Structure 1
Amino acid sequence: MTVKLDFEECLKDSPRFRAAIEDVEGDVNELETRLEKLVKQCNSMLEAGRTYCQHSKSFVNGLRELGHHCSEDKTMGVSRINTHLETLVSLGIELIEATQKSVRMKLQSFVKDDVKRFKDVRKEFERSSETLETALGRNAQAPRGKQHEVEEASLALLNARRIFRSEALDYVLQINVIESRKKTEILMAMLSLMEAQALFFQQGHQSLTELEEYRRQLSDEHTQLVLNSAREKRDMEQRHAAIKKKDVSYDDLIMDFSPDAPNGIVMEGYLYKRASNAFKTWSRRWFSIQKNQLVYQKKYKEQPTVVVEDLRLCTVKPCAEQDRRFCFEVVSPSKSCLLQADSERQQQGWMSAVQNSIASAFQERREDTLSPRERCSSVSAGSVNLVGGEQSNSGCKALEEVQAIPGNGHCCDCGEPAPDWASINLGITLCITCSGIHRSLGVHFSKVRSLTLDSWEPELIKLMCELGNTAINRIYEARIDEITIKKPHPSSPRQDKESWIRSKYVEKKFIHKLPETGRAPPLRRSSARRNRATTQEKPGTRPVLKPKPSRATLPRLTGLNPSEIMKNSFDSHKDDEDEEDLSGLHPGALLYRSAALQHFPVMADALAHGADVNWVNVAEDSRTPLIQAATVNSLAACEFLLQNGANVNQADSIGRGPLHHATILGHTGLVCLFLKRGADYNAKDIHQKDPITIAVDSANADIVTLLRIAKMNKEMREMDGFAQSGDETYHDIFRDFSQMASHNPEKLKRRSADIKIP
């Protein structure tokens, strides 16, 4: 049996799915009309048959009476004819009863039960579809500044989408079931009727003999169809139950970026589009990226409307000035198109898809003879006209600095030369094919960015320069010689590359297995560390940590394992600390220790072995690795932890988060970084002091300026009509501080005597 509709397609609720639904409903309506007509014709035939049988009985009785009258005449032979006719009349009555059971009752039951059940499920589907459409509109219209309305609209949308997905799955199941049953029921009715006719026409055996083989064939086919239908129905019900158990109320599961899709559509889904007329109305349309173009359509069969003719001539950026959430803008030389997604994840997915499509469009037109520097220059020339050249200049700088790291001149996974893509949370460079595969893994595994097309903050460039392909491959390919899987090369098929990347980063088949000693309980706080923690609370003092090693002594060039590296790093503190066995550190503790020492390869090794990036050291005031990195003023280490999911607002046991510690210690660059990553400047510690109060008490004008600008910017954005005001200044100031923190940190230093720790 061929499945009429697929369960996965109904989750997208695309115009293609809606068109298929309309076709199915039309088929069912036509089938119902024809079956009702057939049932009426069958009733007329049965009534005529009963009349025929009644008259036949009268005729047979007349013959019997005639036979009694002519019983003495042996030549008449009426009795034998009468017996034969009685048999024929009996067979006729049986034929009518069989027709009643096999045709009329079965078809009538199919119309009343199965078709009625189909219509009931369809009504529930249509009702849930209308509810979802209303919830989507309400969610899209929820103002950014009214949080209670946003929460109500989001909750209503969540419930409506869950109900709709459930009803859609039930509807598709019912469609497939009725498609299967109509074949078996109609065929069964016809087969039963043919068997009754065969019994009735015994005197016409010669004519029925020609249909005997055909009847057997239909009988065998019917038996096989019943078996296949039962098996497929069971499989569909199991799949239906499995999918229904999943949480399909969110759209994350159906976000699908496929650069190698056979139909040429690399991304598709619903977006709201703002009209360019004076009313600025928003309409929900089905968008898709295909043939290096961004197009949309309202109905499946209508001609798509082209938004961007050539993706190489456009750029995409988030649009925070709008009152509506999740907006982004696709800008081309001739026009701009303002779009809105249903969630932040969808917004990021669409923006990434457009960026990847832009990169693919350039890649297809790029000459193989161009060097990376020449490719960067050609892309910069096209980008200057759109975004003023700032983004492309940062991309060129990122390309030059990151590719200069040993090992980064070739793709980390397949070895293709001159890669111009990167994974910022892993710190590696990638070719365009491997970058697409990394993007499909999800941002919780790899965050992909272009070295030439995207903007690069200084702290991100510093982070990329601290790691590199050589260091990461030492971790993720540590056991490659022990496994028979062959590493792909540049000309390997995409399927081989995807299998390798998933085995390497998702399944982590090639890393060193964690020994039992690496599962030891959390570290005990040593007396020397307790003394330093007490000293740290005094104004003007900071914890003593070993300086960050130079690149020549980084662990990735030593060949030591993480435990040996950490042991060597702590040798200088043996006089100050109790003896502590670091070889037994579990990944969370290892990440905690290495964050304070700014050992990036060891941090990456700890994360690869499953370290919780928000691991809490209860023995040291419940501090986290991010707080440890903040105390030593490591901008790149903090950025590395944040890119790997660290919580910027997680506080220690005295209520101080990373922003508190950066403010207390006067690390202006870190304050700027944490504010950009969403740190809460209103959070209070156990002394009821927030970072603004601490900065004012410390007389740190730079930090006070940053905190107050961030607060003012948020307040202005929450006021109607002031969303635009303050945004450019806010971003300019934070950009200047970021540049200074990365390139001229000495300008942000203060005297320790000026620091007042509450």
Structure 2
Amino acid sequence: MGGVEKQRLKTDQLLMSCTLVKLCIGMIDAGKAYNAANKQFVNGIRELAQQSTKDEVIESSLTKFAESLQEMINYHTVCYHSVFLFFFDSDLRKFKEAKKQFDKVSEEKEAALIKNAQAPRNKQHEVEEATNILTATRKCFRHIVLDYVLQINVLQSKRRSEILKSMLSFMYAHLTFFHQGYDLFSELQPLMKQLGGQLDQLVVDAAKEKRDMEQKHSTIQQKDFSNDDTKLEYNVDADNGIAMEGYLFKRASNAFKTWNRRWFSIQNNQLVYQKKFKDNPTVVVEDLRLCTVKHCEDIERRFCFEVVSPTKSCMMQADSEKLRQAWIKAVQNSIATAFRDKGDDGEKLDRKSSTSTGSLDSGGEPKERPLKGESALQKVLAIPGNACCCDCGQPDPRWASINLGITLCIQCSGIHRSLGVHFSKVRSLTLDTWEPELLKLMCELGNRVINQIYEARREELGARKPQPGDPRHEVEAYIKAKYVDRRFVRRPSDEELRNKVISLSKQEKRLSSSSEHLPPKPPPSTPRLRPGSNASGQTDAAEPAPMPATLPPPSPCKEMVFYEPKEYSSGLQLYWASFARSLPDMAEALAHGAEVNWVNTEDDKRTPLIMAVQGGSLVTCEFLLQNAANVNQQDAQGRGSLHHATMLGHTGQVCLFLKRGANQNAADIDEKTPLTIAVEAANADIVTLLRLAKMNEEMREAEGPYSQSGDETYQDIFQDFTLMASNDPDKLNRYQHYDPQRP
């Protein structure tokens, strides 16, 4: 694109020259407004000098002339007369006509490319017609482009002498008409004389450049361009870091699967594209080492190929078969080059968290410090049953399903990914970054726990569990039967379900079976209140800490009281299991068909996620969110999970919900937002988090609708709270109990 940029710069310089001509004419016609027009004119000269930084003679001369004219403005002299034109009218007309033809043929070529790309492979007559139109349009485009470039280059070379000649005349006119500026221009006279002596040589040089360019133009026109669109080369050592670039059609990921033409390039081991020349590149593939590229012959369009990464795929279309082969080869070479440069034992792959985890800021580069690579792998594989693939038993798995909490081999991970994220969210144990709460979630479940649920009736039904090396179609059929159809799940009887729900409702804490550390429970309250009661108090899941002497002590703790429901269901099991922080019982309820956003109409319309907040566990909240829980779903009081976490002073949960997109501006029926509640409770940590999140949101809105940068301070602070909430929750202990009746 270097030649294109050079011609664009020349065009801008010519347009700037035309602008300067108009400013001069306006100055002549507006004699009564001399000072204002003259200041604009001088500014125009300065801008033209800045546009000519590569031409030292033009830049230095125009700069000195502008300084002298600024001094003349100070004299407030309005009597002058001069004619100041850079180019002849015929030259300008040729340039403008060439530009119109160029713009027109560019549009025709774009239309021909689109029509050629849309021609179906099974309609040969349409393919031939589109190809012929594209060939003819390209030929016309090349001739027009050459004429247009010639006009630009001729005027560009001519403008040097014309500009200096006109400026010299203009300056002498000022010397004549403004006696008061005589001394000033006397000092400038040596430079003017020097430029006058150089004009003859500049004219000769311009004529020679014109002749050389015309000869090149004639030579280029005689060349055969029939296959010029295939002359693409992969250059890993390119000066600008771009190994290959060119136009491709890209299939959008929206429901309509529309195709758009974009400028693609391979640079810095990434595949990126731009919608317009000056747009910031959009990254399609962050690390080509993790990708594969393949032909696509099963769609209607021709010349298509697909780049597949562990988390997504991108379908693209070239303009011809040779171009498709060139791009496929370039991607393959980039993959090989990246591995050769990095080496198998070199730097660990540094990839951001996949989008399924709901990272803090999906667009930026947060300074994450959670575990990744071998550290995460060792922790997860240390869980009993995790050393082999959950579905086929392949040893040493390297992948995981984060919403199920299981480890997988590479073949089973591909099958899980094909099920869709509503069934399984797949991540790499070695390549992806693992947030602390997600890593703890994996350690709370594991293959043994999940298989006891999803394979409870497998032997009873006589189903064979796949083994390593079995054909893919057999493994795929088993996995679909296991997780999609849930064929091997044992359905509980009504009595079993009732006993399970009652048992869970009586377990206020399950610290003995949980690896998650929680602060000690405060003293129980005298009254037993129903969840959502308006009486003053706290939940037993709160996290008390020493309190300043200036603040009142926390209110008595609310306790969840079990009332005999009208009907027992898997949704009710999930509801109470979330409060009891029992992830195996939560996973079992989901396997039995529980709706993750189930609403308890008999208990203020609370959801399992709100009960997980009441239970005080960060990991249970993360488990529900990874299984598509709605972080903004409200209860009968208009309070979502962020409201409840703020009221209970659970700082870690507040941090988690903000990262997962909780609406901090939502107000409850008392018109209180989470920030209002945090301020009333004097909880400095939560106030800080909410205000930082709001400030970051406002900053991104101010930067524009497509901004994804975010504030680094915001990201760092949220990361600190995330690590603290998962690894050292005692540090978050505050006087964290909100009392709506406290003055």
Give the alignment's TM-score, normalised by structure 2: 0.50
Within the alignment, does 1:630 sit opposite 2:613 as a pair? Answer: yes
1:743 is aligned to 2:727: yes
Aligned residues of 2:400 and 2:428 also touching (Cα < 8 A) = yes
Secondary structure of 1:708's aligned partner? helix
1:399 is aligned, of 373, 377, 380, to 377
Q: Which amino acid aligns with 1:289?
A: V
* CA contact 1:421–1:430 (8 Å) conserved in 2: yes
Q: Is the 8 A contact 1:391 1:456 kept in 2?
A: no
Give the CA deviation at 1:25: 3.2
How far off its partner does 1:539 sit? 4.3
- Aligned residue in 1 for 2:453: 475
C-alpha distance after superposition, 1:273-298 (max 9, x if no partner)? 21796566899996622799999543
Residue 732 of structure 2 aligns to which amino acid in structure 1? L
| Matches of 1:659 and 1:753, distance apart in 2 | 14
What residue number does 2:485 align with? Answer: 507
Give, in whole Å, the separation in 2 of the partners of 1:671 and 1:388.
19
1:431 Cα deviation after fit: 0.4
**C-alpha displacement of 1:501:** 0.4
Q: Answer with 1 or 2: which has the greater Rg.
A: 1
User: 1:633-648 to 2 correspondence within 5 Å?
Assistant: 633-648=616-631
Q: Distance in 2 between matches of 1:26 and 1:252?
A: 22
Measured in 2, the distance between the counterparts of 1:253 and 1:516 equals 50
Once residues 476 and 253 of structure 1 are traced to their aligned partners in structure 2, the CA distance between those partners, rounded to angstroms, is 39
Q: 1:399-438 CA distances to partner (integer Å, 9 max, x unpaired)? A: 1111110000000000011111000000000001100000
Partner of 2:373, secondary structure, is helix
Deviations 1:558-585 (A, max 9, x none): xxxxxxxxxxxxxxxxx99678599x73
Aligned 8 A contact 2:631 2:641 in 1: yes
Match of 2:716 in 1: 732
Instruction: Provide the rounded CA distance (Å) in 2 between the counterparts of 1:604 and 1:253.
Output: 39
* Distance in 2 (alpha carbons) for counterparts of 1:633 and 1:735: 20
Counterpart of 2:721 in structure 1: which amino acid? Answer: F
Q: Is the 8 A contact 1:659 1:674 kept in 2?
A: yes
8 Å CA contact 1:698–1:757 kept in 2: the answer is no
**Alignment coverage as a number of residue pairs:** 428
Equivalent residues in 2 for 1:661-740, closer than 5 Å: 661-720=644-703, 723=707, 726-740=710-724
Identity of aligned residues (%): 47
Structure holding more helix per residue: 1
- How big is each residue's C-alpha offset from its partner over 1:676-719, in whole Å with a ceiling of 9 and x where there is no partner? 11100010011100001111111111111111111111111111
After superposition, the Cα gap between the structure-2 partners of 1:699 and 1:279, relative to the gap in structure 1 and judged at 3 Å, is closer
Q: Is the 8 A contact 2:351 2:431 kept in 1?
A: no
Deviates more, 1:679-688 or 1:303-312: 303-312
Q: Which residue does 1:605 correspond to in 2?
A: 588
1:475–1:530 CA distance, 2 compared to 1 (3 A): farther
Alignment of 1:166-181 (within 5 A): none
Of the three residues 403, 411, 418, the one matched with 1:425 is 403
Paired amino acid for 1:273: Y
Counterpart-to-counterpart distance in 2, 1:704 and 1:501: 46
Q: Residue 529 and residue 462 in structure 1: after superposition, are their counterparts in 2 closer, same or farther (change >3 A)?
A: farther
Q: Distance in 1 between matches of 2:316 and 2:484?
A: 35
Residue number among 444, 468, 477 corresponding to 1:490 in the alignment: 468
Deviations 1:515-566 (A, max 9, x none): 356899x999x99999423796444522479xxxxxxxxxxxxxxxxxxxxx
| Residues 400 and 622 (structure 1), Cα distance of their counterparts in 2 relative to 1, 3 Å cut | same
Structure 2 residue 425 is matched with structure 1 residue 447: yes
- Distance, in Å, in 2 between the alignment partners of 1:416 and 1:15 is 48
Match of 1:683, SS? coil
Matches within 5 A, 1:252-651: 273-274=273-274, 288-289=306-307, 297-304=317-324, 305=327, 308-309=331-332, 378=345, 381-383=348-350, 393-515=371-493, 531-533=528-530, 537-543=534-540, 580=564, 585-651=568-634
C-alpha contact (below 8 Å) 1:402/1:465 kept by paired residues: yes
The CA distance in 2 between the partners of 1:589 and 1:385, in whole Å, is 37
| CA deviation map 1:168-207 (0-9, x unaligned) | xxxxxxxxxxxxxxxxxxxxxxxxxxxxxxxxxxxxxxxx
Contact 2:696/2:711 (8 A) holds in 1:
yes
Evaluate the alpha carbon distance shift between residue 388 and residue 645 of structure 1 in structure 2; reply closer, same or farther with a 3 A threshold: closer
Distance (whole Å) between structure 2 residues aligned to residue 393 and residue 283 of structure 1:
25
The whole-number CA distance in structure 2 between the counterparts of 1:426 and 1:530 is 39
What SS class does the counterpart of residue 664 from structure 2 fall into? coil
Residue 477 of structure 1 contacts residue 510 of structure 1 at CA under 8 Å; is this kept in 2?
yes
Q: Report the 3-state secondary structure (helix = DSSP H, G, I; strand = E; otherwise coil) of the residue aligned with 1:464.
A: helix
TM-score by length of 1: 0.49
- Aligned pairs for 1:108-147 within 5 A: none
Are 2:440 and 2:619, in contact at CA under 8 Å, matched by a contact in 1?
yes
CA contact under 8 A between 2:368 and 2:719: conserved in structure 1? no
SS class of match (1:688): coil
Retained in 2: the 8 A contact 1:414–1:487?
yes
Give the whole-Å Cα distance in 2 for the aligned partners of 1:253 and 1:508.
36
Task: Deviation per CA, 1:208-228: give whole Å up to 9, x if none.
Answer: xxxxxxxxxxxxxxxxxxxxx
Letter in 1 for 2:530: A
1:632 to partner: Cα distance = 1.9
Please give the per-residue CA displacement for 1:603-646, whole angstroms capped at 9, x wherever unaligned: 00100011010111111111000000011221000000001010
In the alignment, the residues of structure 2 paired with residue 253 and residue 592 of structure 1 have an alpha-carbon distance, to the nearest angstrom, of 42
Q: Deviations over 1:28-65 (max 9, x none)?
A: 99xxxxxxxxxxxxxxxxxxxxxxxxxxxxxxxxxxxx
Residue 18 (structure 1) aligns with: 119
1:502 is displaced (CA, Å) by: 0.5
Change (3 A) 1:283 1:468: closer
Pick closer, same or farther for the CA change 1:654–1:726 going to 2, 3 Å.
same
Partners of 1:469 and 1:450 lie apart in 2 by: 16
Cα RMSD (Å) of the superposition? Answer: 4.8
Structure 1 unmatched ranges of 5 or more: 1-12, 30-160, 162-247, 255-270, 315-331, 336-361, 367-377, 546-574
Q: Is the CA contact (8 Å cut-off) linking 1:294 and 1:308 kept in structure 2? A: no
Shift of 1:452: 0.6
Cα distance change, pair 299–628 in 1 and its aligned pair in 2 (3 A): same
The Cα of 1:301 is off from its aligned counterpart by 2.1
**Displacement of 1:478:** 0.3
